[in-house]
Chains A and B, each alone.
Chain A
């Protein structure tokens, strides 16, 4: 049986767009770019508005620092991604297809271009490859559309959303490349229950793995060579995701909907293990400094809020906080949602809230200028894996 990263695939069977969308819905395929939106519903929305002049934008910008799965997939299986984009284009009535590939992802871009070179002239005339500028928000769907329309790769005010008015003002399906590849497998009869994860942190063999959605987080660690050090927490879903205590999630299936039911997120498939002796306050401060630096600097709550949160976290991580830094963080973490043109502030606030919960003791200690993880006299403590399994 073929999978995303390996195995021979046969020709794409003849399906009408409607039949394919029915299959995607039966497989309950959710987008793999981060938001997890139901794919069938999205394709229907574009098909209804497209009237034969829609656009498909295959999104391989992959700006998430902890994710490498999209570039890995494009480099390894460009034809599968292209199949998915063509199927999507036929299903939604799109004469034009754009591959939006992170400009730094050279191997991925080269593989996509080479694979396109092997396709029919008819297809070549429908397709362009557009390098996506580096940055966290350049792959956000309205950013991508704005850039392709000649603007800068920053989010625009919505509505209209791209499925209403996108590239050249036409209804545009913006879909992550892994989602498209999975659609191409589902068209061939696959059940669509595997996904790509990028595993990092305290793990022996980090990198991109294809996992069965019934796998537990423990299975994911095993697939990545096993844990390097005993972990205390895991970051699920990347910088827009959230921290979870390791013992609460170790035995959970990684399947997106089961995670969501517990208030966790699979998002783009990032799994980052934080070792027991690492400090969650410091790790969160580093992430937030990055997210603040990646604000598109258009919306006040994001520009000022994220930089203030980043500064607050920097002081706390350095154990030199101002008197009420922790209180301020708590307040701000609840104020950012829905207050940007895009979801950048929402994502950052969600990550911060999860950190304040999971690392509550560490934050309290840092507010008192101490660190629970880095006390010189503290004896080494090794937690047996059995304790968390």
Chain B
């Protein structure tokens, strides 16, 4: 099942661990908040995506079923 990343923007405090663990899909803006590439997570990155989700100290990042 294809999955995509979702950020709870209200929870996110810009710790930036997600971008460290998944730079292929997440970059940080000038203030340290994530810019997430949209679309399904490629299979080769799914383990890294899960690690990024697990690493978020405020549980703001999650995996959701890809829409469309």
Contact = CB atoms under 8 A, between A and B. Distances in A.
Given A335-B35, A339-B35, A300 B9 contact: yes
A304 B9 contact: no
Nearest to B31: A304
A340 B35 CA distance: 11
Contacts of B38: 338
A299 to B, nearest CB: 4
A118 interface: no
B1 interface: no
B10 A305 contact: no
Nearest to A345: B9
A340 B31 contact: no
Contacts of A156: 10
B8 A300 contact: no
A290 B27 CA distance: 28
Given A157-B10, A339-B9, A341-B9, A300 B30 contact: no
Interface in A296-312: 298-302, 304-305, 308
B26 to A, nearest CB: 12
B12 interface: yes
Interface string A269-281: 0000000000000
A340 B33 contact: no
Interface string A300-329: 111011001000000000000000000000
Given A157-B9, A157-B10, A340-B9, A300 B35 contact: no
A305 B31 CA distance: 8
A302 B10 CA distance: 10
Interface in B31-46: 31-33, 35, 38
Nearest to A302: B9
A308 B11 CA distance: 21
B10 A298 contact: yes
B10 A301 contact: no
Contact of B33 (A298, A300, A341): A300
A340 B33 CA distance: 11
Closest CB pairs A-B (n = 9):
A304-B31, A299-B9, A300-B33, A298-B10, A300-B14, A341-B9, A301-B33, A341-B10, A157-B8
30 contacts: A156-B10, A157-B8, A157-B9, A157-B11, A298-B9, A299-B10, A299-B12, A300-B14, A300-B31, A300-B33, A301-B9, A301-B29, A301-B31, A301-B33, A302-B9, A304-B29, A304-B31, A304-B33, A305-B29, A305-B31, A308-B30, A308-B31, A332-B29, A332-B30, A335-B29, A335-B35, A338-B38, A339-B9, A340-B9, A341-B9
